[in-house]
Structure 1
Amino acid sequence: MCSENHVWERRWHPLLLQWVVYASHRQKRPWNGQKAETLENVAPTYDPCCNLCPGNTRISKIKTPNYSGVYVFDNDHPGLSLNAPTKLEKPHGIYANQPAVGIARVLCYSDQHNTTLTELEPTAFENVVAAWQSQTSALSTIPQVSNVSIFENKGKICGVSNEHPHGQIFGTDFTYTSIEHHLDAAENFNKTHGKVLFQEIINSEQLDGRRIICENEGAISFIPYFARYAFEVYISPKKNYPRIDLMPDSEVSQFTEILRQTLIKLDNLWHMSFPYLMKLHQAPVDNGDYRNFHFHIQIYPPLRTPNLQKHLGAIEIGGQNFHADTSPEQSARVLNETNNTHYKVSLSN
């Protein structure tokens, strides 16, 4: 059973190779559980207690320089290190372990404490994307790094410990499971159909049209047919590039425009700084043949309404199949109705 407002079915997730279960009528069920706190604090432009603000001394006793714009540094408390132990104690029985070698960096989007990636002016936004490119290229030259992961956790509801606008960059000697799934799916699809999987996803979205959020000549954003979260959005160049640093400047500009416009529409959805988890999905940097891998960004918002968070239930964690309470078509329609100008700009005029 399926209509724009009522979806009750399973849909195949072609990148993760698993089914997503939809029962969108459950979005209206009574809710007496915990509600998410979405009130925004009025933050200052500069916070003397913030480790990431220019001129402040971080907890590591290292002084942050008086930077402006983008600033990248090695994480003071890294979850990964090039000096991580490589001689490990062998576990008992069937268990296995390997070293977790890598490098962790912090990417400050701005010297201004009270802004977000979404609210940056176009040139400043472009500088962040340029940093994603340059960091991918730079980390790819480190022998121990075979994969570069760039991501952002935005909002207190996502567990952010510092509200200064920033993301993180991991260079690892291993590939994260989601990328492994994507690589396997793309390779098998190409062997079977002779086509690039993600480009066929884009083609399918264009044929339907209902879930497209923004589009220009070189890039597109959409809520995929198989979206798990209510406003899960994919942003992608239309042409196939395995990594962001392999894109030509002209297409990076078009991609950046669509990414920025999509983030603005998410903020405008409920007139709030929209919380999300954002991950750049790109191929490994180990000189392998990844022509069938299509770089894109995935955004996973935790909220399904302004104050209701999507919580994973026991059946989802234990069963390993996501249960969605919303319709991707309805979510896309609502998001498309939002303004293209950020609500804070509109309010100030």
Structure 2
Amino acid sequence: MATSFRASEHQHIRYNPLQDEWVLVSAHRMKRPWQGQVEPPPLTTVPRHDPHNPLCPGATRANGEVNPDYEGIFLFDNDFPALRPDAPSPGPSDHPLFQAEAARGVCKVMCFHPWSDVTLPLMSVPEIRAVVDAWASVTEELGAQYTWVQIFENKGAMMGCSNPHPHCQVWASSFLPDVAQREERCQRAYQNQHGEPLLMEYGRQELLRKERLVLTSEHWLVLVPFWAVWPFQTLLLPRRHVRRLPELTPAERDDLSSIMKKLLTKYDNLFETSFPYSMGWHGAPTGSEAGANCDHWQLHAHYYPPLLRSATVRKFMVGYEMLAQAQRDLTPEQAAERLRALPEVHYRLGQKDRETAAIA
């Protein structure tokens, strides 16, 4: 008698229609004992202000500039940018196997808060709302000139972040990066074939199926994608059709701030640690592409956290993942169930604060 398929027991591959990729799901591997690398625990205490930290108010940065004594958002040009606005063009290629094209742009750093010992889940909803407004503003400002504006946050040393001060980066480029190109192509093809945006239909389907939902609110959904690669990867989607961050209404920005705080609190609560991740926003291209028909685009944010079994055991993307295709152990449904069950009050709050938050 043939064995019936169970996603939590039997390996299978899943398709990512947003980026035209497949992922191997091997949930049975979670039963194997872990004898690999164990990461050092993150710093338990970070000084609120360090005069030698180049992101702190009043500190001197590597280029000699002194930061203002900012009390909210602080946005400045990256002192070591990967993109500059005035780079020369490499000129025409002499062979199809050796192509190079011009790459111009700007890189900025955005500090979320003057204190180094807070992260987004520990900030207030109004403070997070200020971050959302700053994201929308910088997208509009740089998007007036550049084709792509990539907002991203690397949180934690595990994700290559060398500074614990709460901040993100903004890179604006004259070209459309690879992932953005794939999402452009896939969303356009889906719209042409089915007559509606891919992520609008996907969000509706996930609301009906419910098994991968983590959080829902009046204007937003948080879910573990059917095709998730990272163990506790999530996708943040607006319910309304929105192409870019600046299009969000005040109500949607308020709601976004609230649901972000809840999601990131759940992340921290999972292993009771400051949860590392890389996250970023994707929206319709800007600059010279802004006037084109971009109705196939739906604004969304990706969260890619590496932790798998504990605060010190991470998922490595090596070997098969580098040479063949992505692979995951925990199923997306199992990950969503674990995240859903977690409290929305941060583990670092005292019992009195927990009770106050529960009453509120």
Alignment TM class, shorter chain as reference: over 0.9
Structure 1 residues 85-164: aligned runs within 5 Å: 85-88=88-91, 90=93, 94-142=97-145, 145-164=146-165
User: Which residue identity is paired with 1:83?
Assistant: D
Structure 1 residues 152-301: aligned runs within 5 Å: 152-285=153-286, 286-287=289-290, 288-301=292-305
CA contact (8 A) 1:282 1:295 kept: yes
Distance 1:137 1:226 in 2: 31
Deviation at 1:180, TM superposition (A): 1.1
Q: Deviations over 1:118-140 (max 9, x none)?
A: 21111111100110000001112
CA contact (8 A) 1:6 1:327 kept: no
User: Which residue identity is paired with 1:311?
Assistant: F
Q: In the alignment, which residue of structure 2 is the partner of 1:53?
A: 56
Aligned pair 1:342/2:343, yes or no? no
CA contact (8 A) 1:116 1:165 kept: yes
Deviation at 1:215, TM superposition (A): 0.5
2:37 counterpart (34, 37, 44): 34
Distance 1:162 1:67 in 2: 18
Structure 2 length normalisation: TM-score? 0.92
Distance 1:245 1:114 in 2: 29
- Which consecutive unaligned segments of at least 5 residues does structure 2 have? 354-360
Deviation at 1:218, TM superposition (A): 1.0
Q: Deviations over 1:144-191 (max 9, x none)?
A: x11110000000111111111100001100112111111111111111
Deviation at 1:85, TM superposition (A): 2.2
Number of residue pairs aligned between Structure 1 and Structure 2: 346
Deviation at 1:91, TM superposition (A): 5.9
CA pair 4-255 structure 1, distance change in 2 beyond 3 A? farther
- Which consecutive unaligned segments of at least 5 residues does structure 1 have? none
CA contact (8 A) 2:90 2:100 kept: no
Distance 1:7 1:215 in 2: 30
Distance 2:79 2:348 in 1: 34
CA pair 91-300 structure 1, distance change in 2 beyond 3 A? farther
CA contact (8 A) 2:243 2:294 kept: yes
CA contact (8 A) 1:186 1:293 kept: yes
Deviation at 1:89, TM superposition (A): 7.5
Distance 1:164 1:86 in 2: 36
Distance 2:85 2:251 in 1: 35
How much identity, in percent, do the aligned residues show? 30
CA contact (8 A) 1:2 1:9 kept: no
Q: In the alignment, which residue of structure 2 is the partner of 1:314?
A: 319
CA contact (8 A) 2:106 2:173 kept: yes
CA contact (8 A) 2:235 2:303 kept: yes
Distance 1:236 1:346 in 2: 32
Distance 1:8 1:135 in 2: 43
Deviation at 1:5, TM superposition (A): 3.8
Q: In the alignment, which residue of structure 2 is the partner of 1:81?
A: 84
2:15 counterpart (12, 29, 41): 12
User: Which residue identity is paired with 1:255?
Assistant: L
CA contact (8 A) 2:107 2:172 kept: yes
Distance 1:281 1:348 in 2: 39
User: Which residue identity is paired with 1:326?
Assistant: L
* Local SS of the residue matching 1:170: strand
Distance 2:198 2:60 in 1: 47
Distance 1:327 1:118 in 2: 25
Distance 2:42 2:85 in 1: 40
CA contact (8 A) 1:235 1:258 kept: no
Q: In the alignment, which residue of structure 1 is the partner of 2:358?
A: none
CA contact (8 A) 2:105 2:174 kept: yes
Higher mean displacement: 162-171 or 27-36: 27-36
Structure 1 length normalisation: TM-score? 0.95
CA pair 195-163 structure 1, distance change in 2 beyond 3 A? same
1:333 counterpart (337, 347, 353): 337
Higher mean displacement: 251-260 or 221-230: 251-260
CA pair 75-8 structure 1, distance change in 2 beyond 3 A? same
Deviation at 1:38, TM superposition (A): 2.6
Deviation at 1:40, TM superposition (A): 2.6
